[in-house]
A and B are shown apart, each in its own frame.
Chain A
């Protein structure tokens, strides 16, 4: 193929782009930056840092030996395992389901779409204890769903599965609402371009669409995970709370409190906090990497 005429449109040499980490300083658009920064730090300190600090200080008063003895009992370790395992499972399910639901809400026009859109937020408003009760009623051996599922070996009530089910219920809205606006803002022309260039539907989705929404899906996962790790009200009603099997860390904390073992309850809380924080930091790092990649 012959080369184009060299006299026009010679690419302009641009100065090397600044590294992504360097931020340009710009004048504040809105006035009162100092004041709002002060209010923000105050609120965060009062609402988040102080209570967490109290927790840590209380737990630290036990000394390293006492801390390990209280927080690392076999029953507590099992509870951390159930909490993390069920939460990760539930958050993954929510992220995947949330992507599907958000996609349908944005891209598929069907009667009742607005209603479904509104229903997505219901789990946020419903007392989670109600959700736990309803789920256990549904999935027990004589429940509406349980009467069919239990003979098939699917036990949704008083089981690990039950915990995952309610955690998906309480975390799904986050996964949907984070992904939805991103799907709305997708460049539909790019999808058509991919198809014209010969990509199949699957290739178009995997190579063109997914990279654009993956950061949002991961954010949805992180929010769902955070929500699931802290959930108590629904799980306590559906899990059966069997130590070593279906007892999550928050339930263990409460049962320790009921035994007036305040110190032990505090140490469990601190460990749970540490684990959650680590997990969320990792997920956020992943999200940021994906987002940088997708611009």
Chain B
């Protein structure tokens, strides 16, 4: 089922939760609503589900206006962050609930529930109460329960938020495969960008009740439409710089910026991701150390500390004459190769491989 959200607004009291939001979810798509808490993503999901109703705007499903239709009549499957299982019913009865209230014949209920329990890898646990299951198992029961009524779309509100890290990763890989197999239009809410990027075909970044950007994970990460998106997706170093003649300047280092061909200089903000900076050791006077080619022009800095974070190693340095720190992420392998040259106090040259430039005036933003 395709979903079209048209200019939807919603306020709680004087607080505007959603401000003229429009969104398209194609049939069979898997879309992530990504944003910080308070960005309106959960409210948007609940409006799509029919659990809340917008103050203005429309919701269309397969071209049909369903704005005022209650969730009960929308044929949606909904999965809650805290599972929302029926505690007094066993797993089987939880999954069967939607079928029972629809007066589906007993035999059919049994077949369908057994099939679903197999699908979520919980066969044999039908007699357990939710309290006897682990978090991951509970969420899979919730998923089976939502799927039992053969919904036309699946909506998930921070479905992995209450699970521990390992289970979370397993469960989302599994959910991705499940989605590929049954091909149901799905929308899920998350504040975890890793989750959004790994799971979704398309990511919708929200902030303050508005959609900042919608696109594939690659597009959103590589061509962030707004400073917020850039900022939200991982750590960045933000600097003031200036643009003129198709170039932005960051501490004297030119960066190509063809969107601003004018001769008149303007202030701009330069966003640098730590892993898009290059780092090479230099001698005390700034000349490159033999064997470590250095691209000109670069920024001289001294190493403050080195922190290993897994596959990447974060080098915190202070460029000459700065009060603040600059973070550079390099592969842990290269960090180990450079070990002796990255001790605190060592001198390094930093070169941006890529940078994003935003002009303060939104109409110039790329």
- A-to-B contact residues, CB < 8 Å: 1-6, 8-12, 14, 17, 187, 189-190, 192-200, 203, 207-208, 211-212, 293-295
Contacts and interface: CB of A to CB of B under 8 A. Distances in A.
Nearest to A291: B88
Contacts of B76: 196
A196 B118 CA distance: 23
Given A3-B119, A11-B125, A193-B145, 8 more contacts: A1-B115, A1-B182, A11-B123, A187-B82, A192-B78, A193-B142, A197-B98, A207-B101
Nearest to A191: B84
Nearest to A204: B101
Contacts of B98: 197-198
Contacts, number: 107
Interface stretch (B129-137, B207-215, B246-254): B129-137
Interface string B29-70: 000000000000000000001110000000000000000001
A1 B101 CA distance: 23
Interface residues of B, number: 50
B87 to A, nearest CB: 5
B122 interface: yes
29 contacts: A1-B182, A2-B181, A2-B182, A4-B178, A5-B177, A6-B121, A9-B136, A9-B140, A9-B174, A11-B124, A11-B125, A14-B132, A189-B80, A189-B84, A192-B51, A193-B78, A193-B85, A196-B50, A196-B51, A196-B72, A196-B78, A196-B146, A197-B146, A197-B148, A198-B98, A198-B102, A199-B97, A207-B97, A212-B87
Contacts of A196: 49-51, 71-72, 76-78, 146
Contact of B119 (A4, A14, A194, A211): A4
B88 A293 contact: yes
B312 interface: no
Contacts of A11: 121-125, 137
B72 A8 contact: no
A9 B171 contact: yes
B80 A4 contact: no
Contacts of A17: 132
Counting chain B CB atoms within 10 Å of each CB, the highest count among A4, A190, A193 belongs to A193
Nearest to A198: B101
A198 B84 contact: no
Contacts of B72: 195-196, 198-199
A3 B115 CA distance: 9
B149 interface: yes
Interface in B296-325: none
A157 B112 CA distance: 60
